[in-house]
């Protein structure tokens, strides 16, 4: 076999998966838009500089403005020479509010969006008489005490495979079906202190599923908080699922409390 | 005595002291500037709406861009009708990142700046192998372990009345004298977790004094962190004070870790 360019270094197409954290406050969401600072646009700029060629990335999830991530994923390919394990180090000092936590080579078929089989979202609520302004962009801040038992009851009614039309806001890309599977909704409740040392009660709600409709996690959480103050019930949740009507579910909780925590490419792990 | 305007409600000039929290990230500092969002400018706009007349406020401290406050103070006067205890409630839902925590009437001589006899600044440092992007605007994030004992030794050498020229950046308003009294520097060290649950070591440094030069607290903290990694000593601190040369003190720690915590109008309280 005669090499195409004798003596030249072999040019190999690489397909890279990166895992990414970001603080959603400084971005108009994930998806690239003209004249807006977006996560995708910022990552493409920095990766193009680091790799020395124009990079286009495919993200797993198009998070909204103000939504954070600990475990967003994206894939991109190219013939760049930079060793894969150097990419995070080279990129991370070029942005203050994004961190590439890992980079690994995948086979050419891999695609961060189409290869994903599930996701876990984390939603954080903080209950306090005197909401802490320093946490306003990182929590859903509520004043009324929540009954965790009632929230978990409703959460359990939402687990499983259902038509989640009632837990879905209309968006630009309407999906063919609103049937999704929620593998598990977990909730942790604990006492904490805010940045001034004032007592708070914190809630971490984790929703794991095979896919999510637009605003689905935020509507689930809004519904759970209504259950927590006695204004929503298991019966209402079942009715909402059957009716498919948005008005039958609870309100949309704010973006500030939401983190894309983990993407699954093989099996969905649900800790017990 | 014949009233000036018979039957009209008596118009009384009120002098109000407010205490204020703010998240410094959204502001180009305290002092009002054209075409910039400043704490003073935002407060004046909102208080003018709430009071129904044009309000000008005098702040105790002109904090820099990115510096936070738990206990900034400001005073203003006017003939407005709104009851004093309603001012915080009316104003606070008009800004997300400022909170008026109290409002009280003072006598006509009171002035938030000239009546202040001292201040406590809080500075927060977080030491971690993997700095948390979500805390980047609220901590000075360091990777190297700090020796708290060495930091405290240097801190003690800075307490008392000294010429702090070496701990001072040149600014637009040069003070007549650089002699200031630091009543106390306190430090707390504790283990914590970052927003992802990763271990950190946190430091809270409180500097209480009768007044501070431009960047003085940040230069003191920068110096203390250098002491914490063995690159600054008590001898060097004493030399810096005597020399009055900026180059003899440590670096200026970033604004992100700094909070104006408390203003004293009567006696300076130093907890022990």
The three-state secondary structure class of A111 is coil
Q: Looking at A45, A72, A106, which one is the last position of a domain?
A: A106
- Report the DSSP pairing between strands B258-264 and B68-78: parallel
User: B216 vs A11, which has greater pLDDT?
Assistant: B216
The residue segments making up the domain with residue B133 are 118-264
**Tokens standing for A158?**
């939402």
In chain A, residues with a C-beta closer than 8 Å to the C-beta of B97 are 133, 136
Flag whether residue A134 sits within 8 Å of chain B, measured between CB atoms. yes
For residue A1, what pLDDT band results from cuts at 50, 70 and 90? very low
Residue B26: predicted pLDDT:
95
Count how many domains chain A has: 2
Q: What CATH number should be reported for the domain holding residue B183?
A: 3.30.70.660
Q: Is A8 within the bounds of a domain? A: no
pLDDT tier at A3, thresholds 50, 70, 90 = very low
CATH of the domain at A41: 3.30.70.580
What would the mean pLDDT of A243-268 be, rounded to a whole number?
96
Distance between CA atoms of B77 and B103, rounded to whole angstroms? Answer: 12
Is A139 an interface residue toward B (CB < 8 Å)?
Answer: no
Tell me, yes or no, if A64 is annotated catalytic: yes
Query: Picking from B129-133, B233-237, B250-254, which range would have the lowest pLDDT averaged per residue?
Result: B129-133
- Could you give the 3-state DSSP secondary structure of residue A41? helix
pTM of the model: 0.91
3-class DSSP assignment, residue A49: helix
Annotated catalytic residue within B23, B64, B186, B192: B64
| Best to test chain B binding among A124, A133, A192 (most B CBs inside 10 Å) | A133
Residue B35 lies in a domain: yes
On chain A, the residues whose CB falls within 8 A of the CB of B70 are: 196
Radius of gyration of chain A (CA): 21
Distance from CA of B134 to the nearest CA of A (A): 6
Whether the CB-CB separation of B123 and B217 falls below 8 Å is answered with yes
- In the DSSP assignment, the letter for residue B9 is P
Instruction: Classify residue A123: in a domain, yes or no.
Output: yes
Give the span between the Cα atoms of B100 and A29, in whole angstroms: 31
Share of chain A above pLDDT 90, in %: 90
| Residue showing tokens 């001589």 | B109
- Average pLDDT on B191-199 reads 94
B97 touches chain A (CB under 8 A): yes
Q: Which residues lie below 8 Å from residue A23, measured CB to CB, with a gap of 6+?
A: A68, A97, A98, B133, B134, B136
Give the pLDDT score at B12.
83
Mean pLDDT of B202-218: 97
Are A200 and A192 within 8 A, CB to CB? yes
| B254 neighbors B218 (Cβ within 8 angstroms) | yes
Same domain, A260 and A172: yes
pLDDT at A171: 75
Contact A39, A29 (CB under 8 A): yes
Q: Are residues B157 and B37 in the same domain?
A: no
Cα–Cα nearest to B111, from B250, B13, B17, B45: B17
Q: Does B99 touch chain A (CB under 8 A)?
A: yes
Asked if residue A93 and residue A25 are part of one domain, the reply reads: yes
Query: In 3D, which of A146, A127, A116, A137 has the Cα closest to residue A208?
Result: A116
> A109 Cβ partners below 8 Å, 6+ apart?
A115
- B180 and B55 together in one domain: no
Q: Over 60: is that where the pLDDT of B17 sits?
A: yes
Instruction: Report yes or no on A270 lying in a domain.
Output: no
């Amino acid at each position: 076999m005669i090499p195409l360019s004798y003596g030249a270094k072999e040019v190999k197409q690489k397909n890279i998966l990166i895992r990414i954290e970001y603080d959603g406050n400084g971005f108009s969401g994930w998806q690239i838009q003209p004249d807006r600072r977006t996560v995708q646009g910022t990552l493409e700029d920095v990766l193009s500089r680091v790799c020395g060629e124009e990079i286009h990335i495919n993200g797993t999830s198009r998070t909204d403005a103000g939504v954070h991530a600990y475990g967003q994923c994206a894939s991109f390919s190219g013939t760049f020479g930079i060793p894969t394990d150097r990419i995070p180090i080279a990129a991370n000092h070029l942005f203050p509010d994004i961190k590439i936590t890992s980079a690994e080579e995948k086979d050419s078929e891999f695609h961060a969006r189409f290869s994903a089989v599930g996701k876990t979202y984390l939603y954080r609520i903080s209950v306090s008489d005197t909401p802490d302004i320093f946490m306003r962009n990182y929590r859903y801040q509520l004043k009324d005490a929540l009954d965790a038992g009632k929230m978990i009851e409703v959460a359990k009614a939402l687990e499983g495979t259902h038509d989640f039309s009632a837990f879905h806001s209309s968006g630009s890309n309407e999906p063919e079906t609103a049937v999704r599977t929620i593998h598990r909704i977990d909730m942790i409740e604990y006492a904490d202190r805010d940045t001034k040392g004032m007592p708070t009660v914190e809630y971490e709600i984790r929703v794991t599923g095979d896919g999510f409709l637009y605003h689905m996690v935020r509507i689930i959480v809004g519904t759970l908080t209504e259950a927590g103050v006695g204004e929503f019930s298991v019966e209402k949740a079942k009715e909402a699922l059957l009716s498919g009507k948005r008005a039958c579910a609870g309100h949309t909780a704010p973006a500030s409390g939401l983190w894309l925590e983990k993407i699954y490419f093989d099996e969905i792990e649900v800790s017990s």
